[in-house]
Structure 1
């Protein structure tokens, strides 16, 4: 059995350091880049009184319109209890409302309010200079190239089939 395991001394170790060749390297680097981007974008949202988890729901509501909570959970990678807390927060802040879904008394759709749309637009304005800071170490054309590559990773062509 031990003969089937790779030699521990020669196996690539998973790290997120530049040049790592392990099979985990890309995922680990993406995770580190996400942490960095989330911290920077959180700076833009903090003065507006919301966090990224709130803004993620607002993004879905702007893109899809009124959306039931289970679909919000799936779209944001949040569990059922977590999405309920976020929607409760958004309602308390006047940024979203729950409305009855015609034909199903048990289900409520979440809808962004005019105040939520104002905050959504304000967040984009506040994030603009910080977004530039995220890409300050990239050269000419590299921001667009990175955006294209990440879009292809996040939305693989074979998922559309």
Structure 2
């Protein structure tokens, strides 16, 4: 029994091009926008001696305070081995320290150091001149609108992420 080939004209296929009507289109656009943003922000961080993955951990530590490594991994989308490498780097640079958690010898909490806070602030200053490059194609009011839309996608009102 022969089957007909799929109708190539009616099926929306993911192409990763502007105008893509596939069910993957939004995700693909977000991925491409992330790559662009990561490259621009990475350029701001490079002279400070850190990468975006380091800065992501510093953000969590500034927002939450001392945090166990397991929670850092979850908050940054990293795995156990990856977060250990990032925390090792931050410790080596004097930007964070591991501390024992009272009552559990196996768990370590990570805390940002005063040097880490200084670098965190310096990163913001270094990124400021690059903001225009990041959103250079957007017109008046569009940065705020995009930020609002992305916030709603990243932080749904129902609490599910």
Which TM-score band (shorter chain)?
A: over 0.9
- In structure 1, what is the equivalent of residue 68 of structure 2? 68
Unaligned runs of 5+ in 1: none
Aligned to 1:139: 139
TM-score (normalizing by structure 1): 0.94
Q: Give the C-alpha shift of residue 103 in structure 1.
A: 1.6
After TM superposition, the score normalised by the length of structure 2 is 0.94
Distance, in Å, in 2 between the alignment partners of 1:151 and 1:2 is: 49
Partners in 2 of 1:2 and 1:12 — Cα distance? 24
Q: 1:16 deviation in Å?
A: 2.1
Q: How far apart are 1:4 and its partner, in Å?
A: 9.8
Q: Say whether residues 1:118 and 2:118 are aligned partners.
A: yes
Deviations 1:38-75 (A, max 9, x none): 00000000000000000000000000000000000000
Secondary structure of 1:22's aligned partner: coil
Deviation beyond 2 Å, 4+ runs, structure 1: 1-10
Rounded Cα–Cα distance in structure 2 between residues aligned with 1:85 and 1:4:
52
Equivalent residue number for residue 148 of structure 1: 148
Please list the CA deviations of residues 90-111 of structure 1 after superposition, one character each: whole Å capped at 9, or x if unmatched. 0000000000111212111000
Pair 1:75–1:5, CA change in 2 (3 A): farther
User: Structure 2: where are the runs of 5+ without partners?
Assistant: none
CA distance in 2, matches of 1:46, 1:70: 26
